[in-house]
Amino acid sequence: KGVNMERVAEEADVVIVGAGPAGLSAAIRLKQLAAEHSKEIRVCLVEKASQIGAHTLSGACLEPRSLQELFPDWKERGKKIRHLMYTTSVILLSVLWFMCVCLFCLGLPMVNHGNYIVRLGHFVSWLGEQAEALGVEVYPGYAAAEVLFHEDGSVKGIATNDVGIQKDGAPKASFERGLELHAKVTVFAEGCHGHLAKQLYKKYNLREKCQPQSYGIGLKELWTIDEKKWKPGRVEHTVGWPLDRHTYGGSFLYHLNESEPLVALGFVVGLDYQNPYLNPFREFQRWKHHPSVQPTLEGGTRIAYGARALNEGGFQSIPKLTFPGGLLIGCSPGLMNVPKIKGTHTAMKSGMLASEAIFSQLINENLQSKTIGLDVQEYEENLKKSWVWKELYAVRNIRPSCHSILGVYGGMIYTGIFYWLLRGMEPWTLKHPGPDFAQLKPAKDCTPIEYPKPDGKISFDLLSSVALSGTNHEHDQPAHLTLKDDSIPVSRNLAVFNGPEQRFCPAGVYEYIPLETGEGSRLQINAQNCVHCKTCDIKDPSQNINWVVPEGGGGPAYNGM
């Protein structure tokens, strides 16, 4: 009462949600086309992070194909993109031994010669600078909270979230209503498991003809190491230990070529794992003690930590990409090449193809749209004709081949035989077993996992790790992590699955606290720890947790990690 609840509305030709590689590439390509054809097109891009690149986390080993297409002169422009890699290897780890397999001549997806090690946050920040130089209106710190619709059901645009609200929902003195951005086409580039994309999947039934998406949780650290151990450009990937054969996962260790001896290392665990006692963070910490990894880190200093979910469903899990008034690009629909462990190049290309289709429809006055919001179906048609579709199709069976009785080893055998010989042209397509949350077994059917205590030198505890993520949320704001039913965590998740959320969360957000009476427990949500990885929204066996964007600017601050 007494508060102005009207929202200011702005009109644009195209609105893009998310300033990652896909969203920025789309924005850049639109402005490039507008300049080439002497057209005025207003492009607005909103990003929930307080600065472009702050929420971006990846390896990252960049395949430059899309970048070369977007900026043929990128080597002159891109001083933040470091030197050519010169070494690549994959290591199969087990408890007692390890084997190094050189991939120089095998032609397998994990070959990295000709690629570039980058800090993806720096790369995204650089793309943001290029976008702004071309006239893209970039709005960091503005979280897209709501999809707006025309009366005919087509997408009208988005609204950013209201700010200045107390935890109990009452307005503060600083209260401001969110901004509405209307557009002829709205491009959703939220990244993996975007909360707006989830709504669009349901409204337009976009997943009707594809398999459920499958995910992984990736955890990453940045270290400074002894300069004598530093080998700039070296890449190492591992599979196997400490995971069992039925749990898909592996690691990366990249030697960055910068002014100081830095290595980026990380561990990925497929979220279709079955044992509720598995703890991805502690698996990561244990992995660092393997004799092929620990010597690199000894004497070094850990300087940053982060985590995020990534799409692993591949070709089989790509939804319908277009709908009236909007479309999906990048990791939002899941265009990652899982065996390559790369999605930046495919995300960028999808954004470029989307922009070319959008631009064609915007300037072609003879094309009549059946809805107010433009339905740019040409984008999906062009994507299916591109090298992106061919690349994803070729590797479509590698990830699901790990679901046999042999597990990951069966997947390696399958890859060695069928991918190496047929390059993905086998006349069948394997299926995923179902949604990740449904794969979890009851705790009574699983063996608890005993993890070694962290030594504080190579391995660390969770809370000291979260402190290195730069995570910060305003305490007095509405919760961005909510439960649909407050009783389910104890009555089902704890009773049946031994509270897996306290283990699969890489930030210590979920914690079961004993009641003061001494009988029973309650779930405590430490939302201020959240690093926006979305794992809880994906893996919760009861699908009772809902993640939404907090006030713009809140969350991790990876700053080029």
Provide the CATH number for the domain around residue 131: 3.50.50.60
Angle, vertex CA 176, rays to CA 170 and CA 181, nearest 5? 130
In a domain, 251, yes or no: no
pLDDT the model gives residue 560: 62
Angle, vertex CA 190, rays to CA 396 and CA 559, nearest 5? 105
Radius of gyration of the chain measured on its C-alpha atoms: 23
Q: State CA 524 to chain mean position distance.
A: 26
φ/ψ of 218, rounded to 5, equals -110, 130
Name the 3-class secondary structure at 61.
Answer: strand
Cis peptide before 171 (omega within 30 of 0): no
In a domain, 440, yes or no: no
Name the 3-class secondary structure at 263.
Answer: strand
φ/ψ of 302, rounded to 5, equals -80, 130
pLDDT the model gives residue 107: 55
In a domain, 127, yes or no: yes
Cis peptide before 197 (omega within 30 of 0): no
| Residues marked as catalytic | 58, 308, 344, 505, 530, 533, 536
In a domain, 476, yes or no: no
Domain count, the chain: 1
pLDDT the model gives residue 82: 52
The answer to whether the beta carbons of residues 336 and 314 sit under 8 Å apart is yes
The answer to whether the beta carbons of residues 31 and 202 sit under 8 Å apart is no
Q: Look at residues 222, 82, 129, 191 and name the one whose alpha carbon lies nearest to residue 558.
A: 222
DSSP state, 39? Answer: -
Q: Which residues contact 60 (CB under 8 A, 6 or more apart)?
A: 117, 118, 119, 120, 123, 344
In a domain, 303, yes or no: no
- How many other C-beta atoms can be found within 10 angstroms of the C-beta atom of residue 427? 5
> What Å distances lie between residue 322 and 64, 164, 326, 351, 376, CA to CA?
26, 34, 6, 13, 6
Q: Which residues pair with 154 in a beta bridge?
A: none
The boundaries of the domain holding residue 332 are 9-79+123-210+319-395
In a domain, 65, yes or no: yes
Low-confidence ranges of the chain (pLDDT < 50): 83-86, 95-105
Site of tokens 């006692």: 277
